[in-house]
Amino acid sequence: MLALKDVTINYANRSIIKDVSLDVHAGEIVSIIGPNGTGKSTILKAISKRIGVAGGSIMFNHQNLTDMSVKEISRLMCMVSQSNSSPHDMTVGELVSYGRLPYKKWYERMSKEDEEIVQWALSQTHMEVYRERLVQRLSGGEAQRAWIAMALAQQPKMLLLDEPTTYLDIAHQLEVLDLIKRLNKELGLTVIMVLHDLNHAVQYSDKICVIHRGAVHAYGKPADIMTRQLIGQVYGVEAEIEQVGGVPRIHIIKKSNVKDVSKMMNIKPMDIAVLKENYQKLVGGAQSVFLSTIALDGSPFLSYAPFVEHDGKVYVYLSQIAEHYRNLEANPAVDVMLVADESATKNIFARERARFKGQAKNVGNEGYEDVFAKFEAKFGTPTFKMLRTLDFSLFELTLAKGRYVVGFGQAFDVDFAGEHFEHVNRDAHGLDVKPSTKQGE
């Protein structure tokens, strides 16, 4: 029914939405979720042609939106926002009557048929008794129902809802969502809504589209896409997911420490500049820090990341770690990489050294053996001590010359005090590791 293809939306010369593609079938409820400021509402606005697209196309029943007038579009879809403004003296009946406007020429008045449709819209939303009430005197939930009634009076094929439950208490949230679900079922109304509550999205949607940094991070049935990893990557929170009758139920535990790494490592923008500057040198000349890691299948192994020393501290170029994530992705037996527990990794340096003996090269075209040797010569034999695990983990890397803390985990997405390492050729999982300029440049 609705097809977005490679839609790019710019605002003030910055792209807010980049290459978003989305297929919505007739009769579906699709929820768009994602952190604040990722462009969810922008997508809804583009679908309703409130804002134009800079690239790509939006098709409604195989007809391009750009070929349709605003009035034609207003007969196909209607948008209801989190809060809508109405004059202080407008009644519910008047408001809903405005829903007939898309069908009226400028000289036409309300006909008997229009009146019936208004009545029908009011009854569908159980608002008949409120007809003479002032919209501004309604409670949040009633007001939202009044606006949905106006949308219904437009007899749209599709309902767009921008955070329809944001200002409502939980009972009214459910009431509005139940109403939407019922309209979807009984009238076959296609619904696209932006929601914040993940459990509501899961519970009320046929499909969920996760938007992260202006791109589609995942799109599919709630049970298929809602994973701890996804929630961790997109929202930076730790969550547990329980399956209740085939429907995932999400419990948010706490905020991950992803962003704390900048504090832990004392990395400042200046340091990042040093990192960048040295990157080429590092991969060419190869000094690496070893990180102890373990895959979910239980096998511990060492990974490495280039580092620099600056002001007596070691900084690790964390993007390098993402390379390993990608390697792991290629291996279906490995779900996700976690940091090893202490016992498994205590002597991993020696073990890995033995394992890599004779193997040819690493990133810096240096023999692994040489790296191990160089490292040991410089720092002594490292021992690993785990500080904590989960989506993000921290390591205290104990070397002969001192203690260093390095971050690990979702490190490739880490935000160093507001400065991103953006990864250009990011693949579907956001795992490409090419270093690039910081965001906004």
Partner 1 sequence: MFKGSTARKSMLLVIMLLLLILSTLIAIGIGSVSVNPVVTLQTLFGYGDDTSSVILWDIRIPRVLLALIVGANLAISGALMQAVVQNPLADPGVTGVSSGAAVAALFIMLAYPGASVYVPIVAIAGGLLAAAMVYMMAWQRATGFQPVRIILSGVAVNAIFGGVIGLLSLLYSDRLPSAIQWMNGSLAGKEMSDVLMILPYSLAGWIIALLSIRQVNVLRLGEQTAHNLGQNMNRVRLMLSLLSVGLAAVSVSMVGLVGFVGLVVPHIARMLIGSDYRYSLPLGILLGAIILLLADMIGRSLFSATQIPAGIVMAMLGGPYFLYLMRKGGA
Residues forming the site for partner 1 (CB under 8 A): 10-12, 48, 50-52, 69-75, 78-79, 81, 84-90, 94-95, 98-99, 101-102, 106-107, 151, 154
Question: In the complex, what is the shortest distance from the CB of residue 143 to partner 1, in angstroms, rounded to a whole number?
Answer: 13
Nearer to partner 1, 69 or 343 (CB): 69
- What is the edge-to-edge ordering of all strands in the sheet holding 29-33? 77-80, 158-162, 190-194, 29-33, 207-212, 215-220
**Cα 253 from chain centroid?**
18
Name residues whose C-beta falls within 8 Å of residue 59's C-beta, 6 or more positions apart in sequence.
2, 3, 5, 65
Structure tokens at 233: 């990557």
Looking at the Cβ atoms of 51 and 363, the one nearer to partner 1 is 51
Q: How far is the CB of 210 from partner 1 (least distance, A)?
A: 25
Q: How far apart are CA 328 and CA 290, in angstroms?
A: 18
Q: What share of the chain is helix, strand, coil (3-state, %, to 5)?
A: 35, 30, 35
Instruction: Between 86 and 184, name the residue whose CB sits nearer to partner 1.
Output: 86
- Of the candidates 440, 23, 21, the residue with the CA atom closest to the CA atom of residue 269: 440
Question: Measured from the CB atom, is 101 or 390 closer to partner 1?
Answer: 101
Q: Where are the beta strands (DSSP E) in 25-157?
A: 29-33, 55-60, 63-64, 77-80
Distances (CA, A) of 112 to 98, 120, 121, 130, 256: 15, 12, 14, 20, 59
- Whichever of 94 and 376 has its CB closer to partner 1, that residue is 94
Which is it for strands 2-11 and 14-24: parallel, antiparallel or unpaired? antiparallel
Cβ proximity to partner 1, 79 vs 340, nearer residue: 79
Question: Which two tokens mark 53?
Answer: 């697209």
Residue type, 225: I
The residue among 145 and 207 lying less far from partner 1, judged by its C-beta, is: 145
Counts for the chain of helices (H) and strands (E), in that order: 15, 21
Rounded least distance, CB 132 to partner 1, Å: 11
How deeply is 425 buried, as exposed, middle or buried, from its count of CB atoms within 10 A (0-12, 13-18, 19+)?
A: exposed
Residue 62: strand, helix, or coil: coil
Q: How far is the CB of 98 from partner 1 (least distance, A)?
A: 6
State the CB neighbour count (10 A cutoff) for residue 15. 15
Record the tokens describing residue 410, joined without a space: 């979702």
Least separation in angstroms between residue 131's CB and partner 1 is 15
State the residue for tokens 């993940």.
198
Query: Which of 52, 418 has the CB closer to partner 1?
Result: 52
Q: Closest distance between partner 1 and the C-beta of residue 321, in Å?
A: 39
Shortest spacing between CB 153 and partner 1, in angstroms: 10
> In this complex, which beta carbon is closest to partner 1, that of residue 63 or of residue 299?
63
